[in-house]
Amino acid sequence: MPEGPELDAELDRVRESIDEAREEERQDRGFLRRISVSTALVAVLAAVAALQAGSTINEALLEKNEAMAVRTEAFDLWAQYQAKGIKSALLKEQKQTLISLAHVPQASLDQDIARYQKEQDEIAADARRHEDQSRRRSAEGDHYTHRHHRYASSVALLQIAVALSAIAALSRSRGLWLLSILVAISGAVLFVDGFLLFF
């Protein structure tokens, strides 16, 4: 066993090794703490983005459904329009037939023709309003779908950032952690962009 100065030198090297190991462990804990906090924040943002993605696709589906319902009403109105036109055309034919047979058409025939024409004009105006409303609702649905795609892309990037953070923590890699931060920032930008599309 070494004695004297050799023992003191050996003890000094052991103490330095222990101090270095403690310092390294303290730095690792600080690094892991930063990774943990950043990962938690990214996970919260991912959860909010996922909620927004689900909400906006539901809104898009609702608007598209409403657009179809209003369009169906417009189709029904156009069918009524055609029915009134057919009735009016039949009355006009009846009138022409009576005239050609040298009979005097009833006055109520002209009133019925005029009434059908007026009803047809009102129905056409209503059908056009329904078509316009259907187009507006469909466009709103498209807008919500576009926002949904932004949020969904944001969620994907934020989840990738969380995975990279986990790998960075396991491998103690600062480079991977920085990459996860950059991916998270990209996801956050898409999230904000989806939110700004609301206005």
73-99 in b/e form (b: 16+ CB < 10 A) is bbeebbebbeebbebbeebeeebeeee
pLDDT tens digits, residue range 21-55? 566 666 667 788 889 999 999 999 999 999 999 99
* DSSP string for residues in 158-198: HHHHHHHHHHHHHHT-HHHHHHHHHHHHHHHHHHHHHHHTT
**Residue type for 132, please?**
D
Measured distance CA(7)–CA(95) in Å, rounded: 130
Measured distance CA(165)–CA(43) in Å, rounded: 11
* Cα angle 152, 156, 159; round to 5: 135
What local confidence, expressed as pLDDT, does residue 14 receive? 62
pLDDT beneath 50, residues of the chain: 1
pLDDT tens digits, residue range 174-196? 999 999 999 999 999 999 998 78
What local confidence, expressed as pLDDT, does residue 12 receive? 63
What local confidence, expressed as pLDDT, does residue 108 receive? 84
Give the single-character DSSP code of 27: H
What pTM value is reported for the model?
A: 0.71
